[in-house]
Amino acid sequence: MWRDKNSYDAYMLVLEVIEGPDLGCVFPLPEDEPQLIGRSSEALASSDPTISRLHAELTPDSGRWFVRDLESANGTFLNGRLLTNRAELHQGDEVGCGSSLYRFAEHAAVLLSEQVADRNLDTSAESIVSTSPHSLEAARNHLRMVHRLTAATAGTFDLTAILRHLVAILVDELQPDRCIGVLFDDENAIGTTIEATQNKIHNTANLFSEAIILHACKEQSSILIPTIKEDIRFSQDVGVVASGAKSVLCAPLIAHGNILGAILLEITTENKRWSDAEQELLSTACGHGGLALLTAFLAHSRMQHERLAAMGETVASISHSVKNMLQGLRSGAGAVDLAFNRGDLDMAKEAWPILSRNLDR
C-alpha cells in the first residue's frame, strides 16, 4: 500500500519512489516486518510492468534493514550497482528495480487512513533489460564532475589552487559535512592542507585523521568506512575522535605511481553513511585531480628549468662581455704605461684611444 507524503507526522523509515510510474508514492517500513518489492499481491504496490512478480525483499534485523534480489528478471541495483548478495541499507540509499527507483529514507509516520494504490498491472510482462536503468544517471554524474574538474584546473599551474578547486567541487557534488584536501611535501609528509564545508573553505585544516589518509596512500586505493566506530583500526584515532566523524571516505591523489596527496570526506551526522557509488565517484575525481596536479608540477618544474637555462645564458653573455672589456682595458693600459715609461707622448696618444674605447663600453 502507498500513502501520500502529506499523511505523515511522527518519524519512521520509508521507501519512497523517486523514479518510475509510481513517482511520489511512499511505502512505510514497519519495524520487524519484511517487505517485498514486486507485482504480486503480497508485495508493495507497483504499476511498473518491468518489475518481476517477486523482485526484491527488504528484511529488518536488529534495527538494521537489508535488501536482496529474488532472482528477478532485470536484477536489483543498489546505488547503481547490481546486487549479487544481501546488502545493508543506509538512509539515502537508492534501490533500482525495473524502471523504478526507490529511496530508503526517514519520513513522518502515517496518521491518515491507508489508500490502496490502483494497479492495472500486466502480470505477464517481464523485461529482458539486463543493465541498470539508472546507470545512465550515474554516468552523467561522472561526466559532469569530470567536466567541472577539467574546466577548473585547465591552465592552472598552482598546486594549491588545483587542490582548492578539487575540494570545492567535491563538497558541491558529494555533500560531505567536511572535506579535507592534503598535499605531500618533498619529504613525503603532509604539507599543504585545505578544509571545506558547505559554506566556507580554509587554507589550513583543523584536526583530522592523518592515520586514515596515510593508510589510503600506503594501500594506493580508496577507503570506505561506513561506520567508523565499528572499525577497530581507526575508531580510537585522535583525529577521528577530535573531528567527530561518523562515516569516512578517503582516496589518494595518484598519477603515474606518484602519490601527491589525498582527499578525506567526513560525515558527522548519525543518519547518513557513505556508499560504494560515492566511493567510486571520489576515486574518479581523485584520479583526474592527481593527473591535474602532476601536470602542473611537471609544467612548473619545466618552467623553472627554462628560467635557469635563460639565466645561465644571460650570465655567460655578460661574463663574455666583461672579459672582453677587461682584456681591452689591459691592452690599452699596458700601451699607455709603456709610452709613459719611455717618455714617448706620441705613442701614448696612439694607445689612449684603445683604453678610452673600452672605458666607454
Span 298-322, pLDDT tens digits: 887 777 777 787 888 888 888 887 8
Q: Give the residue-averaged pLDDT of 64-83.
A: 89
At 117, is the pLDDT very low, low, confident or very high (cuts 50, 70, 90)? very low
At 271, is the pLDDT very low, low, confident or very high (cuts 50, 70, 90)? confident
Residue 95: all three cell numbers together? 534501490
Q: Give the residue-averaged pLDDT of 212-216.
A: 93
HEC assignment per residue over 123-185: CCCCCCCCCCCCHHHHHHHHHHHHHHHHHHHCCCCCHHHHHHHHHHHHHHHHCCCEEEEEEEC
Better-predicted residue by pLDDT, 358 or 225: 225
Which among 198, 196, 176, 208 has a CA at the least distance from the CA of 279? 176
Q: What is the largest CA-CA distance in the chain?
A: 130
The model's pLDDT over 157-168, given as tens digits with 9 standing for 90+, comes to 889 999 999 999
Better-predicted residue by pLDDT, 197 or 153: 197
| Contact by Cβ (8 Å): 27, 130 | no
Whether 130 shows a pLDDT value over 90: the answer reads: no
| Contact by Cβ (8 Å): 184, 260 | yes
Whether 135 shows a pLDDT value over 70: the answer reads: no
* Count of other CB atoms within 10 angstroms of residue 199: 6
Whether 118 shows a pLDDT value over 60: the answer reads: no
Q: Give the residue-averaged pLDDT of 123-150.
A: 60
DSSP letters spanning 229-283: GG-TTTTT-HHHHHHT-SEEEEEEEEETTEEEEEEEEEE-STT----HHHHHHHH
What are φ and ψ of residue 224, in 5° steps? -115, 120
Q: Give the residue-averaged pLDDT of 117-136.
A: 44
Whether 263 shows a pLDDT value over 90: the answer reads: yes
At 343, is the pLDDT very low, low, confident or very high (cuts 50, 70, 90)? confident
| Contact by Cβ (8 Å): 99, 133 | yes
Q: What is the pLDDT of residue 121?
A: 39
Rounded to the nearest 10°, the torsion over CA 81, 86, 87, 93 is 60
SS3 call for 344? coil
Which among 140, 183, 198 has a CA at the least distance from the CA of 292? 183
| Separation between Cα atoms, residue 51 and residue 119, nearest integer Å | 13
Q: What is the pLDDT of residue 112?
A: 36
Q: What is the pLDDT of residue 246?
A: 92
Whether 29 shows a pLDDT value over 80: the answer reads: yes
SS3 call for 18? strand
